[in-house]
């Protein structure tokens, strides 16, 4: 999905996509080239991207990928849906915020939606805690503390959106 | 007490069923000197619900609570308690209303240090004209209910933070108020004690049908509520449930 989002900004070659992915999303864990091209092949097979032109290069031919209407619709849906609140979601939340800013969509609206989803899940877990025994309570507590950490991150990110926008849209 | 023709205590819900609005702020503004704290804040609380007001420090959430409770008077906008306007009442009228129909729990220093815990709990009943013996009997019942048995004769300095907060909760609920206003009620407590206080607060309020407005910066405390309202820069965003 991140590739589709990056391609919605502008058509790109695989090499450029990998570079942008590594800069914004792959910090400390660069994406292998093999995974870049296998992902692009799958997106092309599913009709979410097409190859607009092929340029001969020093090595293999360079293909330029363009997002299709189907791919753009998928990006739109992904960016406007909250992530299922589970512990350890930071990387997905981060990707949605950064891509929203890159694509000039409202990251604030997304964060509000995610906040609602998190609070809703925390409400469910609190009800489980109040109704269940000690084991349920401890398991629910584990999730509640992680979701609370996500929410703190959401609040801090919401307060820094203007600065983040400048960083991802130079 | 003024009544407003535009007040609609019962409103149709999206699904067609009516909900009863217990308390509502409409376009409320309030400033501390030249610093605006609320800039057109609107929120409606349904009868019997628990609403959490959240927001960053300085966002105006406590100011909103104080306006809803008739402690502060907005410089613009309206506060409706059912079909009664709070914002146009005199200070004396608001004081009587707060004493007779509202309960309060704050973060710190709410018990009268010269009184015993039991006298603190009985205080709202005594102030409302209940005779001492029945007031003290009623207060005594709350000590068992809130897990405070045996602490009736202690003064506030002899209570732990969690015990003092439970005594404050008993005092807030003893007169069976329509509305309970709680401003960071667990803010001075450790997590476990805070959780115990919230369990008791929710059970007691639901048990007697008291509507609760709860200010908190802690998501785990807000998760006890039915709904959340976020205050940012003096304006309110109500977080309704996400349609499934």
Predicted confidence at residue B95, as pLDDT, reads 94
Q: Which residues of chain B are within 8 Å of residue A117 when distances are taken between CB atoms?
A: 242
Predicted confidence at residue B18, as pLDDT, reads 67
Q: Which residues of chain B are within 8 Å of residue A122 when distances are taken between CB atoms?
A: 219-220, 222-223
ipTM over 0.90: no
Residue B10, pLDDT > 70, answer no
Block residue for tokens 């710190």: B108
Q: Residues A71-130: pLDDT tens digits? A: 999 999 999 888 888 766 678 899 999 999 999 999 999 998 999 999 999 999 999 998
Backbone angles phi, psi at B186, to 5 degrees: -115, 10
Task: Give chain B's contact residues with A (Cβ, < 8 Å).
Answer: 56, 199, 202, 218-220, 222-225, 228, 230, 237, 239-242
Least Cα separation, residue B224 to chain A (angstroms): 6
Predicted confidence at residue B90, as pLDDT, reads 95
Q: Residues B17-62: pLDDT tens digits? A: 667 889 999 999 999 998 999 999 999 999 999 999 998 888 899 9
Q: Do B191 and B128 meet the contact criterion of CB atoms below 8 Å apart?
A: no
Class of the domain covering A1-79: mainly alpha
Q: Compare all CA atoms of chain A with the CA of B218 and give the residue at the minimum distance.
A: A148
Short-list B86, B90, B100, CA closest to B26: B86
CB-based contact A116 B199, cutoff 8 Å = no
Q: Do B69 and B33 meet the contact criterion of CB atoms below 8 Å apart?
A: no
Higher pLDDT pick, A59 / A53: A53
CB-based contact A122 B56, cutoff 8 Å = no
Short-list B102, B40, B94, CA closest to B231: B40
**How does residue B5 score in pLDDT terms, banded at 50, 70 and 90?**
very low
Residue B4, pLDDT > 50, answer no
Tell me the three state secondary structure of residue B10.
strand
Predicted confidence at residue A135, as pLDDT, reads 82
What does the alpha-carbon distance between residue A170 and residue A151 come to, in Å, rounded to a whole number? 27
Task: Please check whether residue A112 touches B, CB under 8 A.
Answer: yes
Q: How many CB pairs under 8 A join A and B?
A: 43
Token couple for B31: 């400033």
Three-state helix/strand/coil letters over B60-99: CHHHHHHHHCCCCCCCEEEEEECCEECCCCCHHHHHHHHH
Tell me which residue in A113, A122, A159 faces B219 most closely, judged by beta carbons: A122
Token couple for A138: 């401890």
What's the first-to-final CA gap in chain A, in angstroms?
Answer: 22
Least Cα separation, residue B55 to chain A (angstroms): 9
Residue B116, pLDDT > 70, answer yes
Instruction: List alpha helices for chain B, DSSP H.
Output: 61-68, 91-101, 117-127, 132-145, 161-173, 191-207, 219-222
Taken in order of first residue, the domains within chain B and their CATH numbers are: 10-239 (3.40.50.300)
- H and E: helices and strands count for chain A: 8, 3
To the question of pTM greater than 0.90 for the whole model, the response is no
**How does residue B1 score in pLDDT terms, banded at 50, 70 and 90?**
very low
DSSP letter at A68?
A: -
Q: How many CB atoms lie within 10 A of CB A156?
A: 10
Least Cα separation, residue B218 to chain A (angstroms): 8
């Amino acid at each position: 999905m991140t590739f589709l989002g990056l391609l919605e900004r502008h058509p790109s070659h695989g090499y450029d996509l990998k570079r942008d992915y590594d800069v914004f999303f792959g910090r400390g864990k660069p994406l292998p080239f093999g995974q870049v091209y296998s992902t692009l092949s799958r997106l092309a097979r599913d009709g979410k991207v097409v190859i607009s032109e092929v340029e001969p290069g020093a090595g293999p031919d360079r293909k330029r990928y363009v997002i299709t209407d189907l791919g753009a619709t998928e990006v739109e849906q992904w960016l406007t849906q909250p992530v299922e609140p589970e512990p350890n979601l930071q990387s997905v939340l981060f990707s949605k915020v950064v891509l929203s800013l890159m694509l000039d969509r409202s990251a604030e609206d997304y964060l509000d939606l995610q906040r609602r989803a998190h609070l809703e899940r925390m409400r469910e877990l609190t009800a489980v805690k109040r109704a269940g025994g000690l084991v349920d309570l401890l398991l629910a507590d584990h999730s509640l503390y992680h979701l609370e950490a996500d929410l703190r991150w959401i609040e801090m990110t919401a307060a820094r959106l203007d600065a983040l926008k400048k960083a991802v849209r130079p | 007490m003024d009544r407003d023709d535009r007040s609609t205590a019962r409103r149709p819900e999206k699904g067609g069923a009516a909900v009863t609005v217990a308390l509502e702020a409409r376009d409320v503004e309030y400033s501390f000197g030249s610093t605006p704290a609320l800039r057109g804040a609107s929120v409606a609380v349904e009868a019997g619900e628990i609403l959490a007001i959240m927001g960053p420090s300085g966002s105006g959430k406590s100011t909103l609570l104080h306006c809803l409770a008739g402690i502060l008077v907005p410089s613009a906008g309206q506060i409706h308690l059912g079909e009664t306007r709070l914002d146009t009442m005199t200070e004396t009228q608001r004081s009587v209303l707060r004493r007779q129909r509202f309960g309060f729990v704050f973060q710190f220093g709410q018990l009268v240090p010269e009184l015993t815990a039991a006298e603190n709990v009985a205080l709202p009943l005594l102030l409302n004209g209940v005779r001492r013996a029945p007031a003290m009997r009623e207060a005594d019942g709350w000590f068992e209910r809130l897990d405070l048995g045996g602490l009736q004769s202690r003064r506030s300095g002899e209570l732990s933070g969690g015990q003092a907060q439970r005594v404050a909760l008993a005092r807030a609920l003893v007169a069976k108020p329509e509305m309970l206003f709680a401003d960071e009620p667990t803010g001075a407590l450790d997590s476990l004690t805070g959780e115990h206080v919230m369990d008791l607060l929710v059970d007691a309020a639901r048990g007697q049908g008291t509507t609760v407005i709860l200010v908190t910066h802690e998501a785990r405390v807000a998760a006890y509520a039915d709904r959340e309202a976020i205050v940012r820069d003096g304006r309110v965003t109500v977080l309704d449930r996400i349609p499934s």
